[in-house]
Amino acid sequence: MKTIGAFVFPGFETLDYFGPIEMLGGFDGQGQIITIAQTMDPVTSVHGQRILPDATIDDADDYDLILIPGGDSALNLLNNAPLLDWIKRASHNAERVMAVCTGTILLAASGVLEDRRATTNKMDFTATVPLVPKVDWIKQARWVKDDKFYTSSGVSAGMDMALAVMADLYGDALAERLALTCEYEWHKDANRDPFARLAGLI
């Protein structure tokens, strides 16, 4: 069983978190989902629902998989030294590290994406990528894989990225079965990104 350390923060984007978690949970106990926050207080999403953490960043940093969702408030954490230190340690220990939307900016702020390829939300792209310039930011990509790091574009792209991770871990057949079970049309082409053009990036 893989442990999935999914970090949440006040104002996290709901689908950024729950979409990938739906896929990463897998079948028959393949994934143990552990929701992590900076404290054990309930964490409120951008849509107002509250989630109870299972652990804090002080409890552990040795999860098999790491997931960092996005949300506008992720940008408020770019100078949060204890959190960035945890992200760096947890990323070093993990088999796979995933970030969605502006969560990729937070991941990059920890330094682990320096000189690596990554992508982020296209509608916020020009405003956010200058905050962490030492990354090879890809303008047109649904998601990007660089070694064990997976970063995705905005919101729904996180589900495609998560399915790609499951395919890497367990094979395409399982990932396709996950998508079918969710009645979700998996966009397997990581370069399929019409939103880059809509955002004026290409």
The arithmetic mean of pLDDT across residues 188-201, rounded, is: 95
Query: Is pLDDT above 90 for 30?
Result: no
Q: Specify whether domain 2-198 bears CATH 2.120.10.30.
A: no
pTM above 0.95, yes or no: yes
Strands 117-118, 31-37: parallel, antiparallel or unpaired by DSSP?
A: unpaired
pLDDT digits (tens, 9 = 90+) for 119-160: 999 999 999 999 999 999 999 999 999 999 999 999 999 999
Strands 2-7, 65-68: parallel, antiparallel or unpaired by DSSP?
A: parallel
pLDDT digits (tens, 9 = 90+) for 61-105: 999 999 999 999 999 999 999 999 999 999 999 999 999 999 999
Find, among 127, 119, 57, 48, the residue nearest to 90 by Cα: 57
Distance (Å) of CA 150 to CA 17, 27, 71, 92, 197:
15, 21, 17, 14, 22
Domain layout of the chain by residue ranges: 2-198
Percentage of the chain beyond pLDDT 70 is 100
Q: How far apart are CA 117 and CA 57, in angstroms?
A: 26
State the first-to-last Cα distance of the chain, in angstroms, to the nearest integer: 41
